[in-house]
A = this chain, B = another copy of it.
């Protein structure tokens, strides 16, 4: 199915909405000039359109399978992966010392969005490797870096994350996998891990597993966990994949979607690994990496949303049905008010989610480039919102895409349903959206709401500045952000964190709604006169923004009414 990389949308976003120029002005990212950005996004976009998009349906129909212990990948995935590798798209943000491009996270996030829009199942492979590259850059010894990073950045080898065990999902600290010193600096890893994305494949020269495990003296819970790098093939003296390690893929999961991405149950039977980061410091190492992986998952949601939108739009522009209700329309169903409402909702929400994701990436880049605490705090604050709202947008847009197709939407050949099935996982993995919301309402307000308030101030100031040009929209954003300020204050003032958690998800969604309006307004203000971005902003602010009031009312209910409902009340009568 044709997929068009949203290059011009990104250009506008970078130039007028999320302030990318600040990033390009830092010394660290001085190479990210406008020309460079255009060239990179254009080239990545073409690769996505030409090489990856044709694989999307193939991966669904002919998913990965296990044959004699080897994962066989979907037809064409090896070639698609080759294109990603050759373009250097794995290492966009990686350290140039080891072969990376050293470009900003914002650019990597944009490219990742496009790759997942084109073929999410395949894109999961480099996404996990990117996470591993980051973890090793921050936490591994120089020796490990020198050996592994060039291979991972070039894409010759791949990386995975091994956290989950059957009894240890969201509660990673409950894991049982053991690590014992071999006496030669290496460790023997024993245990079973589940939900290992791209745990194996037939086009990967080596697969490097980052495995959380407990040393014999590790205390129970998260503070006793260490991180180990466990390669499928142990590198020989020349750094080539040598003897097979004591690990295997036990089985693959049968999933609702992303069939082209093998989700493995991995068994480690005294496999040889090397520690990354300090003893018992595995969770911290995992967390730095996970934070950026969370943004990556949000971008996946946006990518699939964009693809589902394009797919539905093409159908709505082509399908004739019923009398056209307007003069001079195309005669296709896009002329019908309700279909138009659905399409505009999809497009307006994609813009909002993408702007939040990009603003998050810019903040992370600024934090990395300048070391500034406020930028770092902003990146951390926006991360759970970018993840949860990006994935929710993916789910809702794909869902609406099915609806635009009517009866054809329920037929698999149409392709609309696959977007729904694929994107569904994004609100679950890398921390469920509930966990993102608890992170936002809990940990991310532990600064007394400082990062939140700085953002609120910025939104309010911009609304004020926009009043002359867009009085109605600016007024609506102003009202919304004042309500958000009140709600955020309420959250910060709750001593019992469970009072916050009882409304954490609507709190996060209310934040996303208001942030979306903020960026839409900014896009409108940057436009000469009443152009397409202003019209879309008006649609969003008049029709979608008002939801914030219900979300914020929900957010501040506290835990009382939830626990007043007993388990029996919730039971079946």
A residues contacting B by CB (< 8 A) are 4, 6-9, 12, 164, 167, 169-171, 174, 194-195, 253-257, 310, 313, 317, 320-323, 325-326, 330, 334, 336-344, 347, 395, 399, 402-403, 406-407, 409-413, 417, 420-421, 424-425, 427-429, 432-434, 437-438, 498, 501-506, 532, 535-536, 538-539, 542-544, 546-547, 549-550, 553-554, 557, 559, 561-573
8 nearest A-B residue pairs (beta carbon): A8-B573, A532-B569, A338-B434, A546-B550, A337-B501, A171-B322, A256-B417, A337-B502
Residues in B neighbouring A325, C-beta threshold 8 A: 498, 501
Residues in B neighbouring A322, C-beta threshold 8 A: 170-171
B255 A570 Cβ-Cβ under 8 A: no
Q: Which residue of B lies closest to A555 (CB)?
A: B543
With A and B bound together, what is the CA distance between A320 and B236 in angstroms? Answer: 43
B543 A501 Cβ-Cβ under 8 A: no
Other-chain contact of A321, B6, B169, B433, B546 (Cβ < 8 Å): B169
A501 B569 Cβ-Cβ under 8 A: no
Given A170-B322, A337-B501, 6 further pairs, Cβ under 8 A: A4-B572, A255-B412, A317-B567, A340-B570, A538-B561, A543-B554
24 interchain pairs, CB-CB under 8 A: A6-B572, A169-B406, A169-B407, A171-B322, A253-B410, A254-B413, A256-B412, A256-B420, A313-B572, A334-B567, A337-B502, A338-B504, A340-B502, A340-B563, A340-B570, A341-B502, A347-B570, A403-B432, A407-B429, A420-B424, A532-B566, A539-B561, A546-B553, A547-B550
Q: Which residue of B lies closest to A8 (CB)?
A: B573
Q: Which residue of B lies closest to A500 (CB)?
A: B337
A562 B341 Cβ-Cβ under 8 A: yes
A559-B255 contact in complex given A406-B432, A532-B568, C-beta closer than 8 Å: no
A313 B563 Cβ-Cβ under 8 A: no
The majority secondary structure among interface residues of chain A is helix
Centre residue among A395, A432, A544 by max chain B CB count within 10 A: A432
Closest chain B CB from A300 CB (angstroms): 14
Other-chain contact of A255, B12, B343, B411, B568 (Cβ < 8 Å): B411
Other-chain contact of A562, B164, B340, B411, B428 (Cβ < 8 Å): B340
Closest chain B CB from A255 CB (angstroms): 5
A536-B550 contact in complex given A254-B412, A310-B572, A411-B254, C-beta closer than 8 Å: no
Residues in B neighbouring A310, C-beta threshold 8 A: 572
B549 A407 Cβ-Cβ under 8 A: no
Residues in B neighbouring A402, C-beta threshold 8 A: 256, 424, 428
Other-chain contact of A403, B321, B433, B562 (Cβ < 8 Å): B433
Residues in B neighbouring A195, C-beta threshold 8 A: 407
B563 A326 Cβ-Cβ under 8 A: yes
A501 B336 Cβ-Cβ under 8 A: yes
Other-chain contact of A253, B411, B557, B571 (Cβ < 8 Å): B411
Closest chain B CB from A411 CB (angstroms): 5
Closest chain B CB from A12 CB (angstroms): 8
Residues in B neighbouring A412, C-beta threshold 8 A: 254-256
B255 A565 Cβ-Cβ under 8 A: no
Residues in B neighbouring A503, C-beta threshold 8 A: 341
With A and B bound together, what is the CA distance between A407 and B427 in angstroms? Answer: 10
Q: Which residue of B lies closest to A533 (CB)?
A: B569
Other-chain contact of A428, B167, B317, B409, B432 (Cβ < 8 Å): B409
B330 A567 Cβ-Cβ under 8 A: yes
A337 B559 Cβ-Cβ under 8 A: yes
A338 B501 Cβ-Cβ under 8 A: yes
Q: Which residue of B lies closest to A416 (CB)?
A: B256
With A and B bound together, what is the CA distance between A412 and B167 in angstroms? Answer: 19
A535 B550 Cβ-Cβ under 8 A: no
With A and B bound together, what is the CA distance between A395 and B323 in angstroms? Answer: 30
With A and B bound together, what is the CA distance between A8 and B569 in angstroms? Answer: 13
Residues in B neighbouring A409, C-beta threshold 8 A: 428
Residues in B neighbouring A336, C-beta threshold 8 A: 434, 501
Residues in B neighbouring A7, C-beta threshold 8 A: 573
With A and B bound together, what is the CA distance between A194 and B413 in angstroms? Answer: 15
Residues in B neighbouring A6, C-beta threshold 8 A: 572-573
Other-chain contact of A498, B337, B343, B544 (Cβ < 8 Å): B337
Residues in B neighbouring A554, C-beta threshold 8 A: 543-544, 546
Q: Which residue of B lies closest to A572 (CB)?
A: B4
Other-chain contact of A170, B406, B432, B550 (Cβ < 8 Å): B406
With A and B bound together, what is the CA distance between A571 and B256 in angstroms? Answer: 30
A437 B338 Cβ-Cβ under 8 A: yes
Other-chain contact of A573, B9, B254, B341, B547 (Cβ < 8 Å): B9
With A and B bound together, what is the CA distance between A569 and B537 in angstroms? Answer: 12
Closest chain B CB from A78 CB (angstroms): 25
Other-chain contact of A549, B505, B550, B569 (Cβ < 8 Å): B550
Residues in B neighbouring A557, C-beta threshold 8 A: 542-543
With A and B bound together, what is the CA distance between A420 and B559 in angstroms? Answer: 29
Residues in B neighbouring A403, C-beta threshold 8 A: 427-428, 432-434
With A and B bound together, what is the CA distance between A420 and B256 in angstroms? Answer: 10
A326 B498 Cβ-Cβ under 8 A: yes
Residues in B neighbouring A536, C-beta threshold 8 A: 565, 569
Closest chain B CB from A458 CB (angstroms): 25
Closest chain B CB from A484 CB (angstroms): 15
Closest chain B CB from A479 CB (angstroms): 12
